[in-house]
Amino acid sequence: MRNPFRGTRLAALAAVAALLLAACAKNAPQDTLDPAGPVARQIDGLFKPVFWIAAGVFFLVEGLLVFALLRFRHRKGRDGVPEQTHGNTRLEIAWTLAPALLLAGIAIPTVGAIFDLAQRPADAVQVTITAKQWWWAVEYPDLGVITANEIHIPVGKRVDFTLKSDNVIHSFWVPRLAGKQDVVPGHVNHLVMEAETPGEYRGQCVEFCGASHANMRLRLFADTPGDFDRWVNEQKADAAVPAEGSLAARGMAIFNDPNLCIRCHAVGGGPGSQVVAPSLTHFASRTTFAGSIFENDEANLRRWLADPPAVKPGSLMPDYGLSHEQIDALVAYLESLK
Amino acid sequence: MTTEALPVPRRRFLRRPIAPTGVWSWITTVDHKRIGLLYGFTAFAFFIIGGLEALAIRTQLARPENALLTGDAYNQAFTMHGITMIFLVVMPLSAAFFNYLLPLQIGARDVAFPRLNALSYWLFLFGGIYLYSSFFLGGAPDGGWFGYEPLGRQLAGHGMDYYATGLIILGLASTISAINLLVTILNMRAPGMTLMRMPVFTWMALVVQFLLVFALPVITVALFQVFFDRTFNTNFYNIANGGDPLLWQHLFWLFGHPEVYILVLPAMGIVSEVLPVFARKPLFGYPVVVFSGIAIGFMGWGVWAHHMFAAGLGPVANSAFALSTMFIAVPTGVKIFNWIATLWKGAIRFTTPLLFAVGFVGLFIIGGLSGVTHAIVPADTQQTDTYYIVAHFHYVLFAGAIFGLFSGIYYWWPKFTGKLLNERLGKTHFWLMFTGANLTFGPMHILGLQGMPRRIYTYARGLGFDFWNLVATIGAFTIALSILVFIVNVMRTRRRGEASGQDPWDARTLEWTTPNPTPEYNFAEIPQVHALDEFWHRKYVEDEHGKVVPVPAGGSNGHDDPAAGHGAGHGGHGIHMPSPSYYPVMTAVGPPLIFWGFLYSPLLIVLGAFILLSGVYGWAVEPASE
């Protein structure tokens, strides 16, 4: 084995190159390296130079290691004992100071950014998120909007999220717009973010919060100011009431059976109407449901209503043993709640 | 250690065990070497179990929306994988090396308190069995190894009870062992073995024991709070009654971060022994390597809140912990530079122990660098709780600690057994494990930066996670294959391994001055130590030109003759060793029974307490040796 490390190191180089390529992949909607707003961009602007410094240190130190291994390997016929050097004070000082100075250089912008990102602009749009097991209750205290799992914000404006939990710790994260912020019961935390371009942004809970931690996702829609205002008005409107005698009307009756949906879900409730379960006032205006794990379509709704805990472990919503007819009616009603 | 026989008291309820071989001789042993081997064997068994849990995790995550494991099973698997690898594998595997080697490295015949040493092992084993019994008694812990509150309080079943109480038992084992080894290192060094002549492994062990003694009480308090909350309905973490979940986080990480150094410093010590031997040069900058280890030990107490950068501690605390976290990288970097300088101008022999040691250095650099990126708090708010963190700490603890420990296993195997592990299989093991580790944990950096959270049992399609998860799974099975090669190597070596002789590697430290495997009494005569790398200086001298040459046959370098002094004269007869005892194992049965009692039946508490007190009483009146 003459150069035992050559092959692997080439592979390592290839792996690093692959990492850089993958970092540019366009099919990753939660990619932290693809910021879409000023907050995430500021973080990215801090991470990227540190990444390249680290890459430089990596190649330098690994290079020294590999060089030492290859250059100073034992060769047949040279059986003498190498010189027994014990150390070198200058070298020790040098390689203590060099990383310390490098780190001090990184520390300065880091501390600056920490304080910068803790600022809460006074004119921000206010959104209150209450993390539940396992969904997000969303309220706009100044706009009177109540919804769940899907957040709409206007582009180009700072949004100040007030984050609360009345159960366990969660963590709120929309990677392309900002870093994450834990949601801690007994504490009120804040997170500021802003989107530059309209579109859909993905996020999910990132603090382990029990059985369905993996099923606690969210979508954030950045709207143009006009679209945002339209959405607010739609959400503030009263819930649709189905025409009498329709399938949806039968669904509404089932919904309002005191032993069924209405026990936990509100349609048309005000603040405080989604303590246990998401408010469904404008359910059909949402693209997803159940902690944002299902696309909001008929097939998924049927699957969900048939046995919720089977598709979302630990779900508080029990299997009520609904008949096909009941499910048909409920789906019709829910889909009418535009 | 020789002890004057005390007068034998009359009241004894167990006869002194005397069999020199057989099962009972192992159960009652107080020989630090046998206890070290027991630690090693048990930890390796748990390594297989924890590895199977890892394979279950990786198989589940091989593709999106996989349904192999239920969410509940997955949560138990990742929780037990973490607990197992930390508390039942890396810590006891390090303890195996401490137990076997520390007395030998400092020229002692045993540890300071041989029976306490046995108690530590049995508490560890029974603690591990206790934790794993949960799988058969309703479900294992499922709240993560970090057991965040108030989730831990909320989780149904007994899983998190096992978590709290099991870790209390294991903490007891580690605390007792730490005190024992502290006393051993500080008080039982051979004449001439000053602190600054101690091998670096012994030094790092000393730092680790201090960390254990101070860190374990912190977690023990927190675990008792959880135990009381769950068992007696106290309110430590009851939010409704003013409990604060961040208290748990502070306590947990105030233990948890020093714990990281508890896990990795032993491996650093091993690497600091192995590199000089195979480069045939002394460790470069010995005092600097020692002091940087001590510095890490101190600084490790001031960085805990970097685990909480997303918890909302505020910019001042976050800045302070960012700075401390950055600067703990300095002593770590210093060690790496000194290791490279040790190799520089050496005559490097590519044996399996060297490959693993170099693998440690090469891969630990990656873990260290990603660690620095966590100190950039704003960037960490993107990284924390994602696979980027999983990548980071597996580079530190798998590619770091486990590689270092395997280096030690290959290096000291002759010391333990008198036989050399097969080099060809050893190198196959190394290259498979090196490839597997990078395939598994390398892609996790990418997954984390692409936004994949930790601790999720399933992930959606279309998030760009599919490919690298599959690669990581393939890597995990590659690691498993490498471990199979290691097991084959051990089996093969057992049957027809090459005898090692006394000094197969041309080593430098005192443990190699005794025959392999080590005789029960370690040293026929307690050695006189004159220098750092004592054994090397007995073998080599400088000639008149300042060139290092072997001590000529029949010559003397003024020190003890290395060939003499291991029982050649009297075969170890007449050396008084501590006698075996039933009481440590008996005492260790008590705590798990008591904690089972709290979960199932007060009768078990009574029984456990009776056994515990009987063991302690029998112990107290038993002479240490006779």
Give residue-wise pLDDT tens across range B334-381: 999 999 999 999 999 999 999 999 999 999 999 999 999 999 999 999
Contacts of B547 (CB under 8 A, 6+ apart): A80, A81
At A260 the pLDDT is: 94
Helix (H, G, I), strand (E, B) or coil at A165: strand
The total number of structural domains that make up chain B: 2
At B626 the pLDDT is: 65
- Closest residue in B to A208 (Cα) is B455
Q: Which two tokens stand for residue B33?
A: 């070497």
* Residues B314-335, mean pLDDT to the nearest whole number: 95
At B559 the pLDDT is: 47
In contact, B102 and B180? CB cutoff 8 Å: no
Which of A13, A172, A206 has the most B C-beta neighbours within 10 Å, making it the best mutation to test the interface with B?
A: A206
At A192 the pLDDT is: 97
> Residue B196: its chain A contacts at CB < 8 A?
none
Q: Is the pLDDT assigned to residue B564 strictly greater than 80?
A: no
At A97 the pLDDT is: 95
Host domain of residue B547:
510-558
Question: Confidence band (pLDDT; 50, 70, 90) for B568?
Answer: very low
- Closest residue in B to A97 (Cα) is B330
At B577 the pLDDT is: 82
At B565 the pLDDT is: 44
Residue after which a domain boundary falls, among B473, B489, B507: B507
Average pLDDT, chain B: 92
Domain contains B168: no
Between positions 299 and 318 of A, the ones with CB within 8 A of B are 313-314
Bond into A134 cis (ω within 30): yes
Q: What percent of chain A has pLDDT over 90?
A: 85
Burial class (CB in 10 A: 0-12, 13-18, 19+), A274: buried
Q: Which two tokens stand for residue B625?
A: 């040796």
Return the residue matching tokens 């829910």: A334
At B104 the pLDDT is: 96
At B546 the pLDDT is: 74
At B562 the pLDDT is: 46
Both B522 and B483 in one domain: the answer is: no
Both B494 and B429 in one domain: the answer is: yes
Both B320 and B412 in one domain: the answer is: yes
Helix (H, G, I), strand (E, B) or coil at A46: helix
> Residue A167: its chain B contacts at CB < 8 A?
150, 154
Q: Which two tokens stand for residue B307?
A: 């685990």
Q: Is the pLDDT assigned to residue A272 strictly greater than 90?
A: no
Question: Between A40, A61, A115, which is nearest B365 by CB?
Answer: A61
Is some CB atom of chain B closer than 8 A to the CB atom of A132? no
Question: Confidence band (pLDDT; 50, 70, 90) for B227?
Answer: very high
Q: Is the pLDDT assigned to residue A180 strictly greater than 80?
A: yes
Torsion of CA B281, B282, B283, B284, to 10 degrees: -80
Both B532 and B500 in one domain: the answer is: no
Q: Is the pLDDT assigned to residue B414 strictly greater than 80?
A: yes
Domain contains B361: yes
CA nearest A311: which of A326, A291, A331?
A291
Between positions 556 and 595 of B, the ones with CB within 8 A of A are none
User: What is the sign, positive or negative, of the torsion defined by CA atoms of A256, A261, A264, A269?
Assistant: negative
Both B314 and B391 in one domain: the answer is: yes
Both B520 and B492 in one domain: the answer is: no
Count of CB atoms within 10 A of residue B10's CB? 6
Residues B347, A88: C-beta atoms closer than 8 Å: no
Nearest chain A CA: its distance from B381 CA (Å):
5
> Residue A73: its chain B contacts at CB < 8 A?
347-350
Is some CB atom of chain A closer than 8 A to the CB atom of B348? yes
- Closest residue in A to B370 (Cα) is A54
Q: What is the pLDDT of residues B28-40, one digit of tens each?
A: 999 999 999 999 9
CA nearest B257: which of B221, B215, B224, B290?
B215
| C-alpha angle A63-A66-A72 in degrees, rounded to nearest 5 | 125
Q: Is the pLDDT assigned to residue B553 strictly greater than 70?
A: no
Contacts of A170 (CB under 8 A, 6+ apart): A131, A182, A183, A205, A207, A209, A216
At B569 the pLDDT is: 47
| Beta strands A145-148; A294-295: pairing state | unpaired
Q: Is the pLDDT assigned to residue B73 strictly greater than 80?
A: yes
CA distances from B31 to B42, B172, B202, B380, B416 (A): 16, 20, 19, 47, 13
Q: Is the pLDDT assigned to residue A90 strictly greater than 90?
A: yes
Q: Of A67-81, A311-325, B302-316, where does mean pLDDT reach its minimum?
A: A67-81
Q: Is the pLDDT assigned to residue A290 strictly greater than 70?
A: yes
At B13 the pLDDT is: 65
The CATH number given to whatever domain includes residue B443 is 1.20.210.10
B4 compared with B94, residue with greater pLDDT? B94
* Residues B536-543, mean pLDDT to the nearest whole number: 88
Both B431 and B553 in one domain: the answer is: no
Residues A57, B315: C-beta atoms closer than 8 Å: no
Between positions 51 and 80 of A, the ones with CB within 8 A of B are 51, 54, 57-58, 61-62, 64-65, 68-69, 72-75, 78, 80
Torsion of CA A63, A64, A70, A71, to 10 degrees: 140
Both B366 and B501 in one domain: the answer is: yes
ipTM field: 0.92
- Fold classification of A247-336 is Immunoglobulin-like (2.60.40)
Under 8 Å CB pairs connecting chains A and B tally to: 300
What is the pTM (predicted TM-score) of this model? 0.93
Both B359 and B448 in one domain: the answer is: yes
Q: What are the φ and ψ backbone dihedral angles of A140, each rounded to 5 degrees? A: -110, 95
Q: Which own/partner pairs from B563-572 qualify as long-range (CB within 8 Å, at least 24 positions apart)?
A: B565/B513, B565/B523, B565/B524, B565/B525, B565/B527, B566/B513, B566/B514, B566/B515, B566/B519, B566/B523, B566/B524, B567/B515, B567/B519, B567/B521, B567/B524, B568/B524, B569/B524, B570/B524, B572/B519, B572/B520, B572/B521, B572/B524
CA distances from A269 to A139, A305, B609 (A): 12, 22, 57
Superfamily per CATH, domain A125-236: Cupredoxins -  blue copper proteins (2.60.40.420)
Residues of chain A with CATH 2.60.40.420: 125-236, 247-336
Both B313 and B325 in one domain: the answer is: yes
At A18 the pLDDT is: 60
Both B357 and B336 in one domain: the answer is: yes
* Residues B65-79, mean pLDDT to the nearest whole number: 94
Q: What is the pLDDT of residues B588-615, one digit of tens each?
A: 999 999 999 999 999 999 999 999 999 9
Both B491 and B524 in one domain: the answer is: no
Bond into B150 cis (ω within 30): yes
Question: Confidence band (pLDDT; 50, 70, 90) for A15?
Answer: low
Contacts of A144 (CB under 8 A, 6+ apart): A236
